[in-house]
A and B are shown apart, each in its own frame.
Chain A
Amino acid sequence: MGEGEGILHICPHVPSYVLRLRGGKTSTQAAGAPLMNEQSRPAIELTGINKAFGAVKANKNVHLRVERGSIHGIVGENGAGKSTLMSILYGFYEADSGEIKVNDQSVRIRSSREAISHGIGMVHQHFMLVDTMSVLDNVMLGAEGGAFLSSGAVQTRAHLAQLARDYGLDVDPQAKVGDLSVGLQQRVEILKALVRGAEILILDEPTAVLTPSEATQLFDMLRVLKSQGKTVILITHKLREIMDVTDQVSVMRRGEMVAHFATHETSTAALADAMVGRKVLLKVDKGESQPGPVLLEAIDLVVKDDFGVVRVHGVSFRVHAGEIVGIAGVAGNGQSELLEALAGIRPIASGSILINGIEVPPEQHNPSAMRAHHVVHVPEDRHKMGLVMAFEAYESAILGFQHDATFGAGALLEPQKMMADLAAKMDIYDIRPPDPRLKTANFSGGNQQKIVLAREIEHNPNVLLVGQPTRGVDIGAIEFIHKKLIAMRDAGKAILLVSVELDEITALSDRIIVMCGGQITGERRPEHTNPQDLGMLMAGVTEVAA
């Protein structure tokens, strides 16, 4: 996708709308300013929404009122029902019962087409763009406006130009989407919604793939949209973003809407408590690290991706026993490939990996041999790699250890033994529901992650490779997972942590390595750095260049 190049696009120019913002909001055109009586009318009003999937009640009697011309945040743990609720609003699912009102009119939304016709637009977490097509083509996709493209293209081009004027949403219509930075791709998604006449914009975890400065730009953009009378619904699990940009915030927990706040009257701590339903520690408690011998060492590692493009350019580092080394960086800068190479999944083009000071010979550079060397791996994407969603949990819970003698004799696997093993782990890791026979896909994100962690950690590793341990994981589980990682560190394990969450990296790591464009751009101790400093390194501004 070319995220690697994306970092070069940071702040290419100061958009005109930012200047306008700085000049004061009053300068926005009068026509776009909402009328007083309209402002009191909600853009969206959901009443008594219920939605069940089988026995799971994803939404229980949910009420939501979103004021027109506001930015409304929705927070909640993973599996709290935010996505289901938004899917209902966008016509992916139909509610079992309840009422949807858009602009005071009761409506039925059965497809995304109907949602769009009611002025609802959605920007998905995973962009729905065709990389090989131009921005213009992508924006037109599904709204070509007739049998011939030319008339539609002229119209769309004019529309884009107007949006660029009104909102400062500049993108070159001829640029190929695959060549754009992630931030610009997201802008294309927003433009797509606006061209279709969206008055209400839903953004699902929009900052997950952005650098801090791209996120800031996005929020500026959202404020401009708001000032023009658009309504924005922002789904996120980052409480800081909620505090930064929203006017109102609603909290969901276990399918229910548990609290509504005016943002300026609440705090991150209060929101976190409401999300989890109890007091949470947002800070990680950990003592000084006691580094021992080097357990994992990489020397001049070069790793290519599936298409033969070099994604890791000669990276060297060491991880000691009793130490957590965090790798920070914007997604797509080689961290994933590095982690997979260390785990033996991805071949290394050159360089070497040392475990316990001994070089891993090429024939042992595979996942099962690395496991035999007590190197375990919590993969970044548990859906794609760490688990088999279609399997029952007890089957997913032996992945990678399917030849372990504990699970059966000879060629046979004994389900009873596998289930007993997972049942014991479910107890220790508080995995809910504690049912080894439940399908893997039916666990929440946090519990799925705990299944992976339990499987890997309980195998008594020396080296722990951990990718995005808390991605899509609820706060309660995050706390647990962080504590577990610290405990592993204190037990003398070497832990390499890859995460795109700077907060997580800073909270857990004893040393932070920053990667950009496949290279290490710097190393910091968490107590001697700050997000701005790390952000610069993540953007590829090395000490030398600066």
Chain B
Amino acid sequence: MSAPVNLPKWADIVAIPLLNITLAFIISGLVVLAIGEDPIDATRLMITGSLGSINGLGYTLYYATSFIFAGLAVAVAFKAGLFNIGGDGQAYIGGLGAALIGLNFGFLPAIVVIPLAIVVSLAFGALWALIPAYLQAKRGSHIVITTIMFNALASALMSYLLVNVLRKTGSMDPSTQIFAKSSFLPKLKDLLALFGIHAPETPLNLSLILALVTAYLVWLLIWRTRLGYEIRTVGANPHAAKYGGMSPARITIITMLISGALSAGLASNMLLGDAHRVQLDYTAGFGFVGIAVALMGRAHPVGIILASVLFGMLYQGGAELAFDKPKITRDMIMVIQGLVVLFGGALEGLFRKPLADLLARFSKGAR
């Protein structure tokens, strides 16, 4: 048994994450040092690679967009006390929904196809989350286990479909054909060009705006609606929820539908916005990064946006770093990301007690 550590809000929201990330980077620096590279140099490369050019920034924000969706998905489920590990599978199946519209309804105007493709992809993601949700709500099968298994199922199902059903005839590549042009989400570059701003070609697209709007809507849902109130009550105290006339089973299902749909936001960004076709494992594990992002962002939309940008920097800057420094491989970048997750998420409480003690000493000194 240990005493709860009470910190002022600013320390909780700002100081603690900063301390955690700093420690993660110091240890990353030691690792870089150990393999015989200069950590200062590596840091410089990472920052210039991710933020130093419009091009790099575009990629950073493109990755961040995916992470925002994935992080929000985890956070919403987390508010209801559910740990949705299945974001990756939900996004993958969501991609199938986007492909069905993108491939078959291209004759419709863009103003119809794009929203339709997005809505159908969200619905597919939601339905893929519905089965584990139902099993949790009605049968008590633990959602962590079922969502993990559903990632594997999604992967197997999509492999089958891509190889045997959706593959273009005569192609060796297990992927769909290119979607109809009318389903392409506008690139941010093109939107900026409308205002006379010229930016280089990057994958960054309208989804970034959608992600930011979604983050606001999630905030509204969780903290300002009756449904959000019920979601948080079920998550914080299921007994109180029952007492208050809520049905934890119903809330579990609704929350997982929302969470699955949010995961499928990845399909908008990565498929409708950039690749315009579904490739094998297109999600690249970004659904899992969402767990780290949500943990680091304290399951709050603002925190998730900030954490997403940080992870976007790690991905983009990491790619640049691996390119420039052959000794620092992709695996090394994974190690650094792992350290950020470890200190930012799993060891989140590491500095709480020391910081609280330090603050107590300060306030005593002031008196």
Contact yes or no, A377 B229, CB < 8 A: no
Report if B244 contacts A (CB, 8 A).
yes
Knowing A402-B230, A411-B227, say if A92 contacts B243 (CB, 8 Å). Answer: no
Contact yes or no, B233 A399, CB < 8 A: yes
Contact yes or no, A413 B233, CB < 8 A: no
Distance (whole angstroms) from the CB of A88 to the closest CB of chain B: 11
The one of B226, B233, B245 in contact with A412, judged by C-beta atoms closer than 8 angstroms, is B226
Q: Looking across the interface, which residue of chain B has its beta carbon closest to that of A366? A: B245
Contact yes or no, B6 A413, CB < 8 A: no
The one of B6, B226, B233, B360 in contact with A388, judged by C-beta atoms closer than 8 angstroms, is B233
Contact yes or no, B1 A92, CB < 8 A: yes
CA distance in complex: A93, B225 (Å): 39
Contact yes or no, B237 A389, CB < 8 A: yes
Please name all residues of chain A whose beta carbon is closer than 8 Å to the beta carbon of B237 when the two chains form the complex. Answer: 384-385, 388-390
Please name all residues of chain A whose beta carbon is closer than 8 Å to the beta carbon of B230 when the two chains form the complex. Answer: 402
Report if B44 contacts A (CB, 8 A).
no
Distance (whole angstroms) from the CB of B254 to the closest CB of chain A: 13
Report if B199 contacts A (CB, 8 A).
no
**Residues of A390-426 contacting chain B, CB below 8 A:** 390-391, 395, 398-400, 402-403, 408, 411-415
Q: Looking across the interface, which residue of chain B has its beta carbon closest to that of A400? A: B244
CA distance in complex: A387, B233 (Å): 9
Report if A53 contacts B (CB, 8 A).
yes
Contact yes or no, A371 B236, CB < 8 A: no
The one of B1, B225, B245 in contact with A400, judged by C-beta atoms closer than 8 angstroms, is B245
CA distance in complex: A15, B246 (Å): 51
Against B, the Cβ 8 Å flags (1 = close, 0 = not) of A362-400 are 000011100100000101000011111111000100111
Distance (whole angstroms) from the CB of A87 to the closest CB of chain B: 9
Contact yes or no, A408 B226, CB < 8 A: yes
The one of A92, A395, A408 in contact with B3, judged by C-beta atoms closer than 8 angstroms, is A92
Please name all residues of chain A whose beta carbon is closer than 8 Å to the beta carbon of B244 when the two chains form the complex. Answer: 367, 399-400, 402
Report if A345 contacts B (CB, 8 A).
yes
Report if A54 contacts B (CB, 8 A).
yes
**Residues of B221-256 contacting chain A, CB below 8 A:** 224-230, 232-233, 236-237, 239-240, 242-246
Contact yes or no, A402 B243, CB < 8 A: no
Q: Looking across the interface, which residue of chain B has its beta carbon closest to that of A399? A: B244
Please name all residues of chain A whose beta carbon is closer than 8 Å to the beta carbon of B236 when the two chains form the complex. Answer: 388-391
Please name all residues of chain B whose beta carbon is closer than 8 Å to the beta carbon of A395 when the two chains form the complex. Answer: 229
Contact yes or no, A403 B240, CB < 8 A: no
CA distance in complex: A389, B236 (Å): 8
Please name all residues of chain B whose beta carbon is closer than 8 Å to the beta carbon of A343 when the two chains form the complex. Answer: 243
**Residues of B341-365 contacting chain A, CB below 8 A:** 360
Distance (whole angstroms) from the CB of A395 to the closest CB of chain B: 7
Q: Looking across the interface, which residue of chain B has its beta carbon closest to that of A439? A: B6
Chain A contact residues: over half helix, strand or loop, or mixed?
loop
Contact yes or no, B242 A388, CB < 8 A: no
Contact yes or no, A345 B243, CB < 8 A: yes
Please name all residues of chain A whose beta carbon is closer than 8 Å to the beta carbon of B6 when the two chains form the complex. Answer: 53-54
Q: Looking across the interface, which residue of chain A has its beta carbon closest to that of B243? A: A385
Please name all residues of chain B whose beta carbon is closer than 8 Å to the beta carbon of A408 when the two chains form the complex. Answer: 226
Contact yes or no, B243 A413, CB < 8 A: no
Contact yes or no, B243 A399, CB < 8 A: yes
Please name all residues of chain A whose beta carbon is closer than 8 Å to the beta carbon of B243 when the two chains form the complex. Answer: 343, 345, 367, 377, 379, 385-386, 399-400
Please name all residues of chain B whose beta carbon is closer than 8 Å to the beta carbon of A345 when the two chains form the complex. Answer: 242-243
CA distance in complex: A362, B287 (Å): 43
CA distance in complex: A389, B237 (Å): 8
CA distance in complex: A493, B225 (Å): 33
Contact yes or no, B226 A385, CB < 8 A: no
Contact yes or no, A53 B3, CB < 8 A: yes
CA distance in complex: A403, B233 (Å): 14
CA distance in complex: A415, B222 (Å): 13
Contact yes or no, B232 A412, CB < 8 A: no
Distance (whole angstroms) from the CB of A415 to the closest CB of chain B: 8
The one of A53, A399, A413 in contact with B240, judged by C-beta atoms closer than 8 angstroms, is A399
Against B, the Cβ 8 Å flags (1 = close, 0 = not) of A311-354 are 00000000000000000000000000000000101000000000
CA distance in complex: A388, B241 (Å): 9
Distance (whole angstroms) from the CB of B246 to the closest CB of chain A: 8
CA distance in complex: A174, B273 (Å): 69
CA distance in complex: A201, B226 (Å): 49
Q: Looking across the interface, which residue of chain A has its beta carbon closest to that of B230? A: A402
Q: Looking across the interface, which residue of chain B has its beta carbon closest to that of A391? A: B236
Against A, the Cβ 8 Å flags (1 = close, 0 = not) of B211-227 are 00000000000001111
Please name all residues of chain A whose beta carbon is closer than 8 Å to the beta carbon of B246 when the two chains form the complex. Answer: 402
Contact yes or no, B245 A385, CB < 8 A: no
Contact yes or no, B224 A412, CB < 8 A: yes
Q: Looking across the interface, which residue of chain B has its beta carbon closest to that of A368? A: B245
> Which among B6, B232, B233, B243 has the highest number of chain A CB atoms within 10 Å?
B243
CA distance in complex: A414, B232 (Å): 16
Distance (whole angstroms) from the CB of B273 to the closest CB of chain A: 30
CA distance in complex: A403, B228 (Å): 12
Please name all residues of chain B whose beta carbon is closer than 8 Å to the beta carbon of A414 when the two chains form the complex. Answer: 224
Contact yes or no, B239 A385, CB < 8 A: yes
CA distance in complex: A54, B356 (Å): 9
Knowing A53-B6, A388-B236, A390-B236, say if A371 contacts B245 (CB, 8 Å). Answer: yes
Against A, the Cβ 8 Å flags (1 = close, 0 = not) of B1-22 are 1011010000000000000000
Knowing A386-B240, A412-B226, say if A391 contacts B245 (CB, 8 Å). Answer: no
Please name all residues of chain B whose beta carbon is closer than 8 Å to the beta carbon of A389 when the two chains form the complex. Answer: 236-237
Q: Looking across the interface, which residue of chain A has its beta carbon closest to that of B220? A: A412
The one of B226, B229, B245, B360 in contact with A367, judged by C-beta atoms closer than 8 angstroms, is B245
Against B, the Cβ 8 Å flags (1 = close, 0 = not) of A295-310 are 0000000000000000
Distance (whole angstroms) from the CB of A310 to the closest CB of chain B: 21
**Residues of A82-114 contacting chain B, CB below 8 A:** 92-93, 96
Please name all residues of chain B whose beta carbon is closer than 8 Å to the beta carbon of A384 when the two chains form the complex. Answer: 237, 239-240
Please name all residues of chain A whose beta carbon is closer than 8 Å to the beta carbon of B229 when the two chains form the complex. Answer: 395, 398, 402, 413
CA distance in complex: A412, B227 (Å): 8
Contact yes or no, A391 B226, CB < 8 A: no
Please name all residues of chain B whose beta carbon is closer than 8 Å to the beta carbon of A379 when the two chains form the complex. Answer: 243
Contact yes or no, B232 A391, CB < 8 A: yes
Please name all residues of chain A whose beta carbon is closer than 8 Å to the beta carbon of B232 when the two chains form the complex. Answer: 388, 391
CA distance in complex: A415, B239 (Å): 23
Please name all residues of chain B whose beta carbon is closer than 8 Å to the beta carbon of A388 when the two chains form the complex. Answer: 232-233, 236-237, 240
Contact yes or no, A403 B3, CB < 8 A: no
Please name all residues of chain B whose beta carbon is closer than 8 Å to the beta carbon of A96 when the two chains form the complex. Answer: 360
Please name all residues of chain A whose beta carbon is closer than 8 Å to the beta carbon of B224 when the two chains form the complex. Answer: 412-415
Distance (whole angstroms) from the CB of A89 to the closest CB of chain B: 14
Q: Looking across the interface, which residue of chain B has its beta carbon closest to that of A418? A: B229
Distance (whole angstroms) from the CB of B96 to the closest CB of chain A: 31
Q: Looking across the interface, which residue of chain B has its beta carbon closest to that of A97? A: B364
Distance (whole angstroms) from the CB of A463 to the closest CB of chain B: 16
Q: Looking across the interface, which residue of chain B has its beta carbon closest to that of A404? A: B226
CA distance in complex: A414, B228 (Å): 12
Q: Looking across the interface, which residue of chain A has its beta carbon closest to that of B3? A: A93
Contact yes or no, A413 B225, CB < 8 A: yes
Distance (whole angstroms) from the CB of A235 to the closest CB of chain B: 17
Knowing A371-B245, A400-B244, say if A411 contacts B226 (CB, 8 Å). Answer: yes
The one of B225, B228, B240 in contact with A385, judged by C-beta atoms closer than 8 angstroms, is B240
CA distance in complex: A529, B226 (Å): 49
Given contacts A390-B237, A399-B244, 9 further A-B contacts (CB under 8 A): A53-B3, A93-B3, A343-B243, A367-B245, A371-B245, A384-B237, A390-B236, A398-B229, A399-B233
Chosen A-B contacts, 28 in total, with CB atoms closer than 8 Å, are A52-B360, A53-B6, A92-B1, A92-B3, A345-B242, A367-B242, A371-B245, A385-B243, A387-B240, A388-B233, A388-B236, A391-B232, A391-B233, A399-B233, A399-B243, A400-B244, A400-B245, A402-B229, A402-B230, A402-B233, A402-B244, A411-B225, A413-B224, A413-B225, A413-B226, A413-B228, A413-B229, A415-B224
Q: Shortest 3 CB-CB distances between A and B: which pairs?
A: A368-B245, A54-B6, A367-B245
Q: Which A residues have a C-beta under 8 Å from some C-beta of B?
A: 52-54, 92-93, 96, 343, 345, 366-368, 371, 377, 379, 384-391, 395, 398-400, 402-403, 408, 411-415
Q: Which B residues have a C-beta under 8 Å from some C-beta of A?
A: 1, 3-4, 6, 224-230, 232-233, 236-237, 239-240, 242-246, 360
